[in-house]
Amino acid sequence: MAEDAMEEIRAMTVLPAEREDITLTTEDGLTLVGELALPTDGRPPVATLITLHPLPTHGGFMDSHVYRKAAWRLPHLADIAVLRFNTRGTHSPRGTSEGEFGEGVTEAADLRAAVAFAVERGLPRRWLVGWSFGTELALMHGADQDVEGAILLSPPLHRAKPEDLERWAATGRPVTALVPELDDFLQPDEARERFAPLTQLDLVAVDGAKHLWVGEKYVRLVLDAIVDRVAPGVAPLPTAVPNEVLA
């Protein structure tokens, strides 16, 4: 295809997907709001991302930019389903989830509700993807869930304890941590020491990156890393699409 028939994928590019507003019901009776993005034209997803957002008391929500761009791009570019939701008490344009922030403790029920929804919908090869606070939820509450493994973006290890890491280690399931070189909370050298109990961890130090992964360069790096683990052979993702895709 001619070069002038292609359009670069930019920060606000939204690619085709089947997008559905969803609600999750927790075991303690709360309703959480979210969205499920699937490939179009009836194509089955090859894998599923269950995303756990950054700290809601500091602006984290289901639309935090890496997750928003994952939902905008990955169903079309990689046939990956992306499930995003607001944990309890969190607000976004999609709406506000019931309940109150629980310091990562009561959010265990939120994680379980998201996994149960994905299982009930028959979404395949489910992976937890946590970012910052979301990595704490994955580490603290995800080891006993019906998932393939976990991907951690900017893990701070503020709440997760060595025993949480040991529980994940005992499962043998893969865990990858992308640790920014310039992270405000946990940088690669310290992360290698503190993650020692998680013996199967693949720790990827990302030069020049910061905790929030600002900039298209780092968004693409993160999405490529996620896709490489959940759908091997698909990454690197295209950086441009035919013009008619965006029509």
Residue 54 counted as domain residue: yes
Q: How much is the pLDDT for 246? A: 87
Q: Given a cut of 50, is residue 154 above it in pLDDT?
A: yes
For residue 188, tell me if it sits in a domain: no
Could you tell me if residue 27 is inside a domain?
A: yes
Number of structural domains the chain divides into: 1
pLDDT in tens, 221-247: 999 999 999 999 999 999 999 999 986
Q: How far is CA 224 from CA 57, 58, 163, in A?
A: 29, 26, 30
CA gap 23, 31 in Å, rounded: 6
Q: Report how far apart the first and last C-alpha atoms of the chain are (Å, whole number).
A: 17
pLDDT at position 88, please?
Answer: 98
DSSP the chain: --GGGEEE--TT-----EEEEEEEE-TTS-EEEEEEEE-STTPPPSEEEEEE-S-GGGT--TT-HHHHHHHHHHHHHH-EEEEEEPPTT-EETTEE-SS---TTTTHHHHHHHHHHHHHHTT--SEEEEEETHHHHHHHHH-TTSS-SEEEEES---SS--HHHHHHHHHH---EEEEEETT-SS--HHHHHHHTTT-TTEEEEEETT--TT--SHHHHHHHHHHHHHHHSTT-PSPPSEEEGGGG-
Indicate whether 3 pLDDT > 60: no
Structural domain including 154 reads 19-162+215-231
Res. 2: pLDDT tops 70: no
Q: What angle do CA 128, 69, 26 make, to 5 degrees?
A: 40
* Tokens standing for residue 207: 């030069």
Kindly report whether the global pTM for this prediction surpasses the value 0.95.
Answer: yes
User: What proportion of the chain, given as a percentage, has pLDDT over 90?
Assistant: 97
| Cα(194)–Cα(158) distance, integer angstroms | 11
Instruction: Answer for the pair 179, 154: CB distance below 8 angstroms, yes or no.
Output: yes
- In the structure, what pLDDT confidence band is assigned to residue 191 with cuts at 50, 70 and 90? very high
Confidence class for position 1, pLDDT limits 50, 70, 90: very low
Residue 100, phi then psi, degrees to nearest 5: -130, 150
User: Using an 8 Å Cβ cutoff, are 149 and 125 in contact?
Assistant: no
Cα angle 220, 225, 227 (rounded to 5 degrees) comes to: 95
In a domain, 133, yes or no: yes
In the predicted model, what is the mean pLDDT of residues 122-138?
98
Looking at every residue in the chain, the average pLDDT score rounds to: 97
Q: Is 41 a domain residue?
A: yes
Query: Rounded to the nearest 10 degrees, how much is the dihedral formed by the CA atoms of 12, 114, 39, 136?
Result: 50
Condensed to tens digits (0 to 9), the pLDDT of residues 79-97 reads: 999 999 999 999 999 999 9
- pLDDT score at 247: 65
- How large is the average pLDDT for residues 94-121? 98
For residue 75, give the CATH number of its domain: 3.40.50.1820
- Would 12 be classed as within a structural domain? no
Establish whether the linkage from the previous residue to 180 is cis, with ω within 30° of 0.
no
Position 97 in a domain: yes
Asked whether residue 61 is domain-assigned, the answer is: yes
Number of residues that this document lists for the chain? 247
